[in-house]
Amino acid sequence: MEDYARILDYLPQGLPDEKMFKREPIAYAIGEDQFKLFELVPKPNITLNVGDRVYIGKDIDLRQEVLHVKRRISFNELTNAAQSELPYVIMQIIKAHEPRFVQFFNEAQAITTRFHMLELLPGLGKKTMWGIIEERKKGPFQSLEDLEKRVPMAHQVEKLLAKRIEEELSNPEEKYRLFVAR
């Protein structure tokens, strides 16, 4: 269960393909913990902006912006605007929850004898993977910046993480999931 989500797109007039009398404002959002995608119904007279952090958990008293979660959706059900905002909003989540992603680099293990979790990050090859593994033997990484300083071949790791999360969201058949819940 997700408690907080970030807004990807807000349609104050509702979905254009709904009948005029049935339209209600709709927001598309991504959960901060498991990266689940949602269609939300905002409270009346609330305006949401892309990147806004909203509470969607079970405690109704804490919900200030969202009336209810309408449903969970797939990547293909997002609007084009939401899909284009996704990488930027994922980057916001990564920066806000940096220790979680640093922990991933500190604890990533081999999946098989020939394949490592780190290799699932797009653009991160074997040489960089071995650099990360050797450096973390000397001591755990303290931040993503620390990782980039200690492993010169690893740069812009936030973008690598964001790209991997986006791949997991857009491909429901993905065999290995590092960050996105099924």
Per-residue pLDDT of the chain (182 residues; tens, 9 = 90+): 889 999 999 998 877 776 666 678 999 999 999 999 999 999 988 999 999 999 999 988 888 999 989 999 999 999 999 999 999 999 999 999 999 999 999 999 999 888 899 999 998 889 999 999 999 999 999 999 999 999 988 888 999 999 999 999 999 888 888 999 87
46 located within any domain: yes
Structural domain ending residue among the three candidates 82, 114, 137: 82
26 located within any domain: yes
Q: How wide is the angle at C-alpha 67 spanned by C-alphas 86 and 19, nearest 5°?
A: 80
**Where in the sequence is the domain holding 19, given as residue range(s)?**
4-82
90 located within any domain: no
12 and 61 in a single domain? The answer is yes
- E strand intervals along the chain: 4-11, 26-31, 37-42, 53-55, 66-73, 110-112, 115-116
Look at residue 22 in the predicted model and tell me its pLDDT: 67
Look at residue 20 in the predicted model and tell me its pLDDT: 61
Whichever domain contains 14, its CATH number is 2.40.50.140
CB atoms within 10 A of CB 127: 8
pLDDT digits (tens, 9 = 90+) for 48-93: 999 999 999 998 888 899 998 999 999 999 999 999 999 999 999 9
Q: How many helices (H) and strands (E) does the chain have?
A: 5, 7
Quick one: which of 67, 64, 78 has its CA closest to 30? Answer: 78
Which pTM does this prediction carry? 0.89
Which residues partner with 129 through β-bridges? none
